[in-house]
Structure 1
């Protein structure tokens, strides 16, 4: 879709069309299966936010890990049926490994990368610094000598493994401003850049791709809010532009846990099979976001663009109870 076509389709209300002076928003699902209603809600909000603020809306396929054949195409088809089309062809992470390697090379040239030989069990059993959050890397491999590194590297090679690569950070607290949550602060530990199995780590790839795509605001679930200071810190080291953040509340199951496919009829395909229409999906979106009083019932994406007010968005999570019949 061209920018002009997207602007024409943005609606005459709050969606003012694309302005080239602005950057982009994005939705970046992992193609590990069908999206559930909570994932879809976040994706729709990302689209609405882009349209309301004049940004391009981009789609990214994060397929470096946990890929199910056909899932990427299915996810795109669902959003197309819901009236959402990206303004550019999807960015596919598996085609961009050289870009992630180049970013690591830049950091390495600055003395900011080191090999890590620890297993998850090693990290879990090691004592962390008193100020570090649970699960933070304790710095075990940070200052090893050359001889010890060579020995540890050889031990891994005998097991058919290779070291992970970590970023040498300042291990200090850093903050970002979130449009909904306010200030979010977290200690930035020596995060993984490339895993021991050779897969480039999430925190690296999202920073590299957001910068390359001109994404200047990230809207996603608030379970990822604590990762934002890490990503902002890494982005600064790589010279990326400052990012805006908007972490939205999750959709939970009736037990108060994050919604999952095991909770019943929660995917778009399952709900359609039970008789839900596109209009039903948007009506649920309206109620779940607290906008039942915002004009008529939402029936499609243009209604959501016109009536969703992020300044009134509730920071509390929503519970989804699957309809009977599944």
Structure 2
């Protein structure tokens, strides 16, 4: 009975927090104008019989004649496009650095019913979902391909500089894009995402940055059972996940420590053939929260918030350097 009460309390608080992180508003974006101008717009596409939506942030001084880079930003389970654009600061950085960012919305766990953080959260088919569930039958990689094609018609972007990032379940989906859609990407970077693809075999190795808090209660560093707002799960040690991805992109499976101080341990999985590498930033004592976010979930739900790292800025710097 006590365990049940704790879970109910967890779910209620998590539901409120999820509403807050999604903006707690009825934000409505207009369709992309033609020709495209700076601002935030909605793009609807059809994929596998579902109408899918995404928010597109076009930066100030956008010029279709000199197409800028594109970042695909994927929210976590229960979140939405607005949260990763606004609270994780991708829209602000896009304006500052001059790239386009597209933030698609995941479909609910029961895709034919309205989304609800507590009862029917928006999420991604990253490989983590229960096999045979309605949501696991929907191909989100196919949707992202359609999204990129439709976006290119309306907002020209540099197809040689397309990057993907995501948080938590969106981070797991980022790894899946890297495994199954490497032909459309230049690099990937995730925060607290799980490599859930079985035996990933990307068409080409991609430079990868993984940012992870060592006190993350939802993806424990040593593996084991954790409690999510929607139940419990068991995950392998994070080192095992990193070894799997390092092997997939042609890197050594044992990391080299680059630096280690009170705040961050930086390790790198070196390429076996002078190719792209996997870099991991372990944030000492940090939980599941996106580092540097402007709005945070309660620490008792997602662990401590100790890192001063601006993950969005760090990921963009990594993306820029990966194509130089």
Same fold (TM over 0.5): no
Q: Greater RCO between the two (CA within 8 Å, min separation 6)? A: 1
Greater share of helix residues, 1 or 2? 1
TM-score by length of 1: 0.28
TM-score by length of 2: 0.28
Larger radius of gyration between Structure 1 and Structure 2: 1
